[in-house]
């Protein structure tokens, strides 16, 4: 994904609102900001993520799952 598209996705009002929301669950607090960014991009448009970004996201989420188990 090029930086211009990423900036568009990350700078929308909806994305900014989602990023500023406070969530106090253990599961979400263990998700890094990098993983949160990938999740937001994936849910805004799954075709924005490159194959390696999707694989990285899955690995990061699995790691988070292990941390809360």
pLDDT surpassing 70 at residue 22? no
pLDDT surpassing 60 at residue 56? yes
* pLDDT at residue 16, as a whole number: 66
Residue that wins the pLDDT comparison between 5 and 63: 63
Give the mean pLDDT of 37-58: 88
pLDDT surpassing 50 at residue 24? no
Percent pLDDT > 70 in the chain is: 54
Three-state DSSP class for 69? coil
Contact 48, 5 (CB under 8 A): yes
pLDDT surpassing 90 at residue 55? yes
Q: Which residues are CB-contacts of 44 (< 8 A; sequence separation ≥ 6)?
A: 9, 12, 15
Alpha helix (H) residue ranges in 1-69? 3-10, 13-20, 26-29, 33-44, 51-68
């Amino acid at each position: 994904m090029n930086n211009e598209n990423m900036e568009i996705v990350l700078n929308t009002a909806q994305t900014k609102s989602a990023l500023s929301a406070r969530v106090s669950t253990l599961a979400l607090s263990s998700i890094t900001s990098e993983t949160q960014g990938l999740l937001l991009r994936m849910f805004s448009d799954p075709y924005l993520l490159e194959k390696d970004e999707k694989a990285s996201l899955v690995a990061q989420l699995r790691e988070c799952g292990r941390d809360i188990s």
